[in-house]
């Protein structure tokens, strides 16, 4: 029964985890809510496993002591009580049932018998004789408590009580824990922006894998440029990349990554990210590199206006802070790839570090195009 209860509890917890994972994947709960709910479920799962281990330890202890599992002990508990047969002599001497009075023979009975045949006694004589007899009978105590033999006393005073196993009620699927998750899902159904953001990030990851050095398009050379807006060498590399883009056209695919630190790099990353929402990210960066100064968000909006972007949409993106962590993410991604200097180019998985010239970059691109056929 306990094992069945543990199995039911484990199944319920697994269903709860599956429900939580589906809720998270659908984007209807935040990461913090997901972690809190998962922590609570994992704690219950650990408690269930702990109880199961305690049950196994208890079974082993009982088995080591008496040589039988706990279930066999509870099932065969009756055989430890020996039924004692009563002898016929005991049955004969058994007192009548409780609350039945026991009549004693009065010692005065013989003496009070009147021999009518000899001489009839007067009424006064009869009363005098019967009075002490009635008084003796009235004063004789009647024992209401039956007398038990030793064996009967043990059996009746300590009856065998069979304890029924505890019944465990399985927890239904609509328990409090499930209701809490359902409430969270209902509250997050109206938050469509979160779902849209998750979908957008997923699509961007797919595009990144497809069109960068991790998965170049057939017949196209993928070039990832890691630049620093404050570095003059990165400015020179940007000019080289623009010339190569004009020469090769659709033969190369250039993706820019701003991995420099500082306020200007953060601002240019925000501007490029918001411009990329309007499919003008690369053009925005190329334009920003040739400008003399970049001071605040107004400069970012002015660049967008010069490029013919929707300035209202662009300003809303900049001020909302949606792209505020873009620069930090680019820096972390570059560190994972072992890129810590600017400018750095990755041409179809071949790394070029430093301010190399136009001819060097062009030679590598030609080599890759020839290998692609």
CB atoms inside a 10 Å sphere around CB 3:
11
Looking at per-residue confidence, does 343 or 136 come out higher?
343
Confidence at residue 116, expressed as pLDDT on a 0 to 100 scale:
46
| Predicted confidence band of residue 195 (pLDDT cuts 50, 70, 90) | confident
Looking at per-residue confidence, does 326 or 125 come out higher?
326
Average pLDDT over all residues of the chain: 74
How do residues 238-281 score in pLDDT, each as one tens digit? 999 999 999 998 889 999 999 988 888 899 999 999 999 999 98
Token digits for 189?
């159904």
How do residues 336-358 score in pLDDT, each as one tens digit? 999 989 999 999 889 999 889 99
| Predicted confidence band of residue 309 (pLDDT cuts 50, 70, 90) | very high
Confidence at residue 132, expressed as pLDDT on a 0 to 100 scale:
54
Cβ contacts of 348 within 8 Å, gap of 6 or more: 213, 216, 221, 222, 368
**pTM of the predicted model as reported, rounded to 2 decimal places:** 0.43
Domain annotation for the chain: domains and CATH numbers: 1-98+144-190 (no CATH), 196-372 (3.40.30.10)
Confidence at residue 253, expressed as pLDDT on a 0 to 100 scale:
92
Confidence at residue 346, expressed as pLDDT on a 0 to 100 scale:
94
**Residue 351's beta-bridge partner residues?**
346
Res. 236: pLDDT tops 70: yes
At residue 351, φ and ψ (nearest 5 deg) are -90, 135
| Predicted confidence band of residue 68 (pLDDT cuts 50, 70, 90) | low
């Amino acid at each position: 029964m306990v094992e069945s209860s543990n199995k039911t509890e484990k199944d319920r917890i697994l269903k709860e985890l599956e429900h939580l994972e589906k809720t998270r994947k659908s984007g209807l709960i935040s990461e913090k809510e997901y972690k809190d709910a998962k922590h609570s479920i994992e704690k219950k799962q650990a408690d269930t496993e702990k109880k199961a281990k305690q049950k196994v330890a208890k079974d082993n202890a009982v088995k080591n002591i008496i040589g039988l599992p706990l279930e066999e002990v509870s099932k065969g508990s009756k055989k430890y009580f020996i039924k004692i047969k009563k002898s016929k002599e005991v049955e004969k001497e058994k007192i009548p049932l409780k609350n039945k009075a026991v009549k004693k023979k009065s010692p005065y009975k013989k003496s009070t018998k009147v021999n009518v045949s000899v001489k009839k006694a007067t009424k006064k004589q009869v009363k005098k004789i019967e009075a002490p007899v009635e008084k003796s009978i009235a004063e004789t105590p009647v024992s209401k408590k039956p007398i038990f033999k030793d064996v009967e006393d043990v059996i009746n005073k300590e009856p065998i009580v069979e304890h029924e196993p505890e019944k465990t009620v399985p927890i239904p699927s609509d328990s409090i824990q499930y209701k809490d998750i359902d409430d969270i899902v209902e509250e997050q159904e109206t938050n469509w922006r979160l779902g849209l953001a998750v979908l957008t990030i997923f699509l961007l990851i797919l595009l990144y894998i497809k069109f960068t050095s991790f998965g170049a398009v057939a017949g196209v050379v993928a070039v990832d440029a890691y630049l620093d807006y404050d570095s003059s060498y990165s400015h020179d590399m940007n000019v080289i990349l623009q010339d190569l883009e004009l020469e090769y056209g659709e033969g190369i695919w250039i993706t820019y990554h701003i991995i420099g630190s500082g306020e200007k790099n953060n601002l240019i990353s925000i501007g490029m990210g918001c411009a990329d929402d309007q499919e003008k990210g690369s053009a925005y960066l190329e334009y920003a590199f040739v400008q003399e100064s970049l001071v605040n968000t107004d400069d970012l909006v002015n660049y967008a206006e010069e490029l013919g972007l929707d300035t209202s949409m662009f300003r809303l993106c900049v001020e909302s802070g949606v792209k505020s962590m873009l620069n930090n993410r680019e820096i972390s991604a570059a560190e994972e790839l072992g890129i810590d200097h600017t400018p750095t180019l990755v041409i179809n998985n071949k790394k070029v570090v430093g301010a190399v010239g136009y001819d060097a970059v062009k030679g590598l691109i030609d080599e890759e195009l020839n290998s692609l056929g």
